Amino acid sequence: MSKIDAEHYTADDIQVLEGLEAVRVRPGMYIGSTSSKGLHHLVWEIVDNSIDEALAGFASTIYVTVDKDDVVTVRDDGRGMPVAIHEKTGISTVETIFTVLHAGGKFGGGAYKVSGGLHGVGASVVNALSEWLEVKVCRDGNIYFVRFENGGHTKEPLKIIGKCDPEFTGSEVRFKADPEIFKEGTAYDYQTLYERFRQIAFLNKGIKIVYRYEKGEVKEHTFCYTGGLKEYVAFLNRNKNVLHEDIIYVEGLDEETNISVEIALQYNDTYVSNIYSFCNNINTIEGGTHEEGFRAAINRVINKYARDNNFIKKEEDSLQTDDIKEGLTAIISIKHPNPQYEGQTKSKLGNAEVRKVVSDIFSQGLSRFLLEHPNDAKEIIEKTITASKARIAARKARELTRRKNALEVSSLPGKLADCSSKDASISEIYIVEGNSAGGSAKGGRDSTFQAILPLRGKILNVEKARLHRIFDNAEIRSMITAFGCGVGDEIDLSKLRYHKIVIMTDADVDGAHICTLMLTFLYRYLRPVIEGGYVYIAMPPLYKIQKGNAIRYAYTDIECEEYKKEFVNNYKIQRYKGLGEMNPEQLWETTLDPKVRTLKQVTIEDAMDADNAFSMLMGDEVEPRRNFIIENAHYANLDI
């Protein structure tokens, strides 16, 4: 540091943020972002507090309402927040909870044995990021009320505003998110809230959540699942053919650590696994020690049962994890008094003791089920053995998809028209269907950074195929080899050769089908590529409208009508039936040119819903797909 810098760096340069100011200055540190995701996080924080009260055994019903002005109300029938003056802060405990960071009933272990949030910042953060927030508490026969405004400042201290039945207790929180913080808007998404409340109800059997959404047409739903995780697994498998009707369910409590374990699973006839884990209702999307304990137990128990009953005879024939996971839908939920997560996102559980606790409890329960249900056990073991044979057959085919060296051009697919750039961050690959479209794309692209990989026809539906068929498929092998990052459990995104993988298909029903097949493959076998934000869908135009030298491209029917009104008359309209009908120049100026093109980035907001969508659209069950088409079809009057 220079002398001048040192002289100007004084105590006055150190800013101390009082109270909740830090939250408003850096909201992303507390709720992730100020986008729609962060906005909904406010609701999760308040609802989670009511769930914690229910988990402690003091509440049974939680009411959540979003009114037409996006004011959220969360009410429960718990004990009611404490109202007495807090010894350390000198103000009521309710005010302390909502105005002091790291103030909550989740540190000492007395008020709550388990909790989703253990840092005591939830309520105060919501208050800090709200335009206003009100709290009502019913306890001791009184109704207490306090209101906060302008980022968490108490308008006036807690006061009694009425009487209530001494037998009735509970808390109600109403708040309006601050538009100065959430500049993208303060409107809550009905479906996002619906799915989260449904999930919470599945994870906490017997707890009732009443959700009311009053924007537009009023909608109200009550979620309550006495079967808990068993109903959750049945829900996830609703569009699949299951191998056994009885859902395997195991629960137990380790008294030494006070860790409770709840696991439900069921096999179906698909070739993919869906294993979801939770700790204190938090979805640990990156897994952790509870998933490790589950995997160790299911591997050990399934292999032992298979050997004891002569399904497999030699040690070298032991079933591997991938064999046992095929077609498995499982939910792992633990409640831990002091969870430790890796990273701020709480996406991976790190407690070492959890591994053994889960393994021991689940091993006993699964062993008992297999012994008591020999027919179901036989179905499961036979499926895993078939998967083992398919895995061995796929090993050789998989080798063909591996590039030995990124510099070996000969290992790339012969039909790939690669780009000259070796910088993956600027490189793009367009996946197109057919030689005609491929030819136009090759002629119209900028070969510096744009690669073209034409495919022949519709690729294999991986939802209905085993691994050896998938890796035997020439089109799939071409894609995997071109991408260069591996596949399945071997994916290494640092080796991805293109940071934009663009699916470019015709703007018709066949094109949509091909796009769905592509997305199914990417979701099932290259999901990290989607999660990393590398997958896009190109938006080619539907129409070309020309009047004299003036040309307009329309990407929707509505846009076409607007251009027709602009030209009034004497115009020509060309409806593109496929990309192959466009010459290279047209394809560049509409679909390939980064300055004018439209690309839709593919994201995975909810893995469970994404899995269900692919199973429903691409799986064997016809009825769910038929119902979906009927519910989502748009009818038009056609003049013929």
> Which entry of 360, 446, 510, 606 is annotated as an active-site residue?
510
Rounded distance between C-alpha atoms, residue 408 and residue 262, angstroms: 50
Q: Can 510 be counted among the known catalytic residues?
A: yes
Q: Which of 231, 269, 322, 508 is catalytic?
A: 508
Amino acid at 492: D
Q: Is 49 exposed, middle or buried (0-12, 13-18, 19+ CB in 10 A)?
A: buried
Show the tokens assigned to 277: 């884990």
> What's phi and psi for 506, nearest 5 deg?
-65, 150
| φ, ψ dihedrals at 30, nearest 5° | -110, -30
Contact 472, 397 (CB under 8 A): yes
Cα 401–Cα 402–Cα 404 angle in degrees, nearest 5: 145
H/E stretch holding 431 reads strand 428-433
Q: How many CB atoms lie within 10 A of CB 210?
A: 16
Secondary structure, 3-state, 442-471: HHHCCCCCEEEEEECCCCCCHHHCCHHHHH
CB 514 within 8 A of CB 505: yes
Instruction: Write the CA distances from 349 to 55, 215, 284, 408, integer angstroms.
Output: 20, 37, 7, 40
In terms of Cα–Cα distance, which of 471, 473, 441 is closest to 454?
441
Tell me the C-alpha distance between 417 and 388, whole Å: 37
CA distance 58 to 169: 10
Amino acid at 441: A
> What is the rounded distance in angstroms from the CA atom of residue 301 to the CA atom of residue 318?
12
CB 381 within 8 A of CB 375: no
Does 217 participate in catalysis according to the annotation?
no
Cα–Cα distance list, 247 to 86, 148, 240, 273, 300 (Å): 48, 48, 14, 16, 20
**Sign of the torsion formed by the C-alpha atoms of 278, 281, 284 and 290:** negative
Active-site annotation holds for 76 = no
Neighbours of 138 (CB within 10 A): 24
Q: Show the tokens assigned to 366.
A: 């699964």
Active-site position among 433, 463, 472, 611:
433
Which positions are annotated as active-site residues?
433, 506, 508, 510
